[in-house]
Chains A and B, each alone.
Chain A
Amino acid sequence: AQSVSQHNHHVILSEAASLELGCNYSYGGTVNLFWYVQYPGQHLQLLLKYFSGDPLVKGIKGFEAEFIKSKFSFNLRKPSVQWSDTAEYFCAIPRAGTNDMRFGAGTRLTVKP
């Protein structure tokens, strides 16, 4: 069954540091992958998505993610984080043929000013 795993539970960075959050998926077929973000006190919202084509996808607020099929990975990156990026980040994969999203455990990012 499709699933994703996130190995970083809590990441602490200083402003302007580069960010990379890991996400690995387990499914050998056609893969759609997503990153969601939940800012403190706000709703869970879509950050970016990958369906096919260019493996480097760009999302909102300067985030990007790269789909690497050989590594079963879809890591989230940002060259320079800001204090406002403090949030929880979830990687997700839909169950095949459905809109049923399977979420990873999440990574809490704290950016120190």
Chain B
Amino acid sequence: EAGVAQSPRYKIIEKRQSVAFWCNPISGHATLYWYQQILGQGPKLLIQFQNNGVVDDSQLPKDRFSAERLKGVDSTLKIQPAKLEDSAVYLCASSELAGDAWKEQFFGPGTRLTVL
């Protein structure tokens, strides 16, 4: 079974530039998550989609971050403009439809972003 795919794996940009990350979840997984993992910290949820609708984006810095999940499959996360503190690994995860019961999340390899 194919896992969660993410691209690019690495990205280096200058501050104030924009960047986009792409995620392809496991086939059939209705729920998709984007996490930010800053060096030395655990992953922090940025946004959760259920199919193509947003379930939770309370921790997404909406002045510069945006995400979409068109057609309920692939998702993109964008940062515009980037700041130095956005340097982190951005993880995508997916799970079966997460309703009342807990569903295991499967993580992708992440995209390591460096903002100079």
Contact = CB atoms under 8 A, between A and B. Distances in A.
B48 A44 contact: no
A106 B102 contact: no
A20 to B, nearest CB: 19
A106 B44 CA distance: 12
Interface string A9-49: 10000000000000000000000100000000011111000
Contacts of A9: 40
A102 B44 CA distance: 7
Contact of B45 (A43, A97, A101): A101
B62 interface: no
Contact of B105 (A42, A99, A106): A99
A100 B45 CA distance: 7
A51 B93 CA distance: 21
Contact of A98 (B56, B108, B109): B56
A72 interface: no
B31 interface: yes
A104 B44 CA distance: 9
Contacts of B107: 43-45
Interface of A: 9, 32, 42-46, 51, 90, 92, 94, 97-106
16 contacts: A32-B102, A43-B3, A43-B109, A45-B107, A46-B105, A99-B31, A99-B33, A99-B98, A99-B105, A100-B45, A100-B56, A101-B43, A102-B45, A103-B42, A103-B43, A105-B42
Interface of B: 3-4, 31, 33, 40-45, 48, 56, 91, 93, 95, 98, 100, 102-110
**Those 9 A-B pairs whose CB atoms lie nearest each other, nearest first:** A103-B42, A99-B98, A44-B107, A43-B107, A103-B43, A100-B45, A90-B42, A104-B42, A106-B42
